[in-house]
Amino acid sequence: EVQLVESGGGLVQPGGSLRLSCAASGFTFSSFSMSWVRQAPGKGLEWVGNINEGGSEKYSGDSVRGRFTISRDNAKNSLDLQMNSLRAEDTAIYYCVRGRWNYVYWGQGTVVTVSS
Amino acid sequence: QSVLTQPPSASGTPGQRVTISCSGSSSNIGSNTVNWYQQLPGTAPKLLIYNTNQRPSGVPDRFSGSKSGTSASLAISGLQSEDEADYYCAAWDDSLNGRGVFGGGTKLTVL
């Protein structure tokens, strides 16, 4: 069974940093691109970015480019999202998702709140 | 302001056919396939349609997708109470080195 479990969410002050992690199991992690999608409270879905199987190619959305970095450790079956210079508008549920774009498998999400 | 435009709400009665539209541009819907996601309250989204008109295993054939030019549609026939949810369209956008874009979502109410 495919499982994606996010962790690392919490409350952080504006301008601060946070690192999210996603533990993957039930599939060959190194064979799949991975992505992050977020959803602000009461709002729609927003694509954060993705990373290819080997970690050499990364793409990110306009609103996070230059502040957020996606990385992966295939030996540990782990996906990370390093978030710097956080803003109030980054407050959201962050989902770890398997795949480059057609997202069948989603994690349960981790909540990030940016507030002073 | 979402890159893809959806109506904020839609409604129908049980058994009815409902369509949800999604409008984009030449850099996204016009040149790439469209996905649709269903999100029930408090849960992660579920892939409903991929590659414009393909259904993942387990999705009833009451759900269908189509595309024409820079617009796409999701049709739900034989509407059921459990179809009440938020629906999102999505497409890859070839501008700015490539990025994924979603619609703002449509809340479907079954009357």
Q: Pick A46's closest partner by Cβ from B86, B97, B102.
A: B102
What pLDDT is recorded for position B96? 74
Single-letter amino acid, residue B108: L
CA distance B89 to B34: 7
Q: Measured between CA atoms, how close is B80 to chain A, in angstroms?
A: 23
Cβ-proximal residues to A59 (8 Å cutoff; 6+ apart), any chain: A49, A50, B97, B98, B99
What pLDDT is recorded for position B1? 80
Q: Which of B47, B96, B97 to mutate to test the interface with A (most CBs of A within 10 A)?
A: B47
Cβ-proximal residues to A49 (8 Å cutoff; 6+ apart), any chain: A35, A36, A58, A59, A60, A61, A64, A68, A70
Q: Pick B97's closest partner by Cβ from A59, A95, A104.
A: A59
Q: Pick A101's closest partner by Cβ from B39, B44, B92.
A: B92
What pLDDT is recorded for position B38? 97
What pLDDT is recorded for position B97? 76
SS3 string, A49-109, reads: EEECCCCCCEEECCCCCCCEEEEEECCCCEEEEEECCCCHHHCEEEEEEECCCCCCCECCC
CA distance B36 to B44: 13
* pLDDT tens per residue across span B54-101: 999 999 999 999 999 999 999 999 999 999 999 999 999 998 778 899
Q: Which residue numbers in chain A have pLDDT < 70?
A: none
CA distance B61 to B54: 10
* pLDDT tens per residue across span B24-44: 999 999 999 999 999 999 999
